[in-house]
A and B are shown apart, each in its own frame.
Chain A
């Protein structure tokens, strides 16, 4: 009787853990704005590499960095700005970083909004009461938006109207719900909810908004991670990004 019980236990253990050991499982942390594009890229990658499994983890780039810094088992990191990746590099967390895509900054309004701001300066008007941006402490979109406003000498004028969202997708959601009068998001995010939001104008950035991708140094799946990064950079991956509105890096 005891012998048979041991065999059952072993079989159960193998069923539970064996599956993950044999399949190549990759954990990818990507900026929130990459949600739809990376889901499609992951499916394409799995189709091309049978047996591979890509686990996606989306959030504000800064928040994702914190998880990695505290030891989360991430294999690949794609952030929405250079600054976050610089911090990762400073902390010796990454190996081999490459820029893989670029985005644009837009100001969006709820689809049924009666306001019509044409430029950043219009945000200082009374009609605009609440503006959503991702929290600059953790979200690149927030930093870009804040820098744009500071460069236009408008930050102090609109600071009291700023509502911090946890990440760019939450900012998008606030605008879609009309909880705010306007919001700063990436052009690709605006496209995701084009029936609920409309683009007021594009904001010219002071630096191109290039997205870097890197393999995490401590990852035990170096080979798989390299293959995934290569796929993102490949024509197949780039085509997916272009379809979602991203620009050439």
Chain B
């Protein structure tokens, strides 16, 4: 039972950080791709969507090769800062972030593209600076679409298994998230533990979905 709570806490921590990172990155990238016009924009969009269609174990393998002690990024981190991301919860956050990233940036891009450009023009003539326009006009009109993506991303990060297992391993209390704990419990024949973990995970997912339902009102944003 203790193990279930620590796995839950870890899952929430990893998924929370991953979603927060994706919110920043996804909104930023979504906005950029929605507004900037440059050759190769669609190619970039496809590349950034790749983690969504790639098998998690393939992604996990790439991450292992890049972030591992022999990888170009991993060895640099090791030499410059003494940081090793493999077998750490931070590594799990990276895996979960990458896997769930397309789920935020694609709806964000669509939401930004759906904002009437004329409203932004009106704001410009009224004297508001570009940053002000983003936070006062664009974002308030796009947040509903972004939020839908963010919730999906949170659920995806919570359930991340394949890439997490390869990068972070399964260290109870440190990197053993709920999905990994279920896998191990089943492998070890610990059915009661597995059932408990599955129930806990399901309860969390239902809570997230209900919160999502509460947050999506009927009329236009920001009432």
Q: Which chain A residues have a beta carbon within 8 Å of chain B's beta carbons?
A: 60, 62-63, 65-66, 69, 130, 135, 137-138, 163-166, 177-179
Contact = CB atoms under 8 A, between A and B. Distances in A.
B184 interface: yes
B188 A66 contact: yes
B170 A65 contact: no
A68 to B, nearest CB: 11
Contact of A177 (B69, B169, B184, B186): B69
A195 to B, nearest CB: 14
Contacts, number: 46
B189 A66 contact: yes
A122 B86 CA distance: 24
A178 B68 contact: yes
A66 B69 contact: no
14 contacts: A62-B188, A62-B189, A63-B187, A66-B186, A66-B189, A135-B184, A137-B184, A138-B188, A163-B171, A164-B170, A166-B187, A177-B69, A178-B69, A179-B87
B130 to A, nearest CB: 45
A60 B190 CA distance: 15
B8 interface: no
B124 interface: no
Nearest to B170: A164
Contact of A179 (B68, B184, B186, B188): B68
Query: Range of interface residues on chain B?
Result: 10 to 19
Closest 8 CB pairs of A and B: A137-B188, A63-B187, A178-B69, A138-B187, A179-B86, A66-B189, A138-B188, A177-B68
B70 interface: yes
A5 B146 CA distance: 52
Contacts of A63: 187-188
Interface string B190-203: 10000000000000
Nearest to B185: A137
Contact of A164 (B68, B70, B171, B189): B171
Nearest to B69: A178
B187 A164 contact: no
Contacts of B70: 177-178
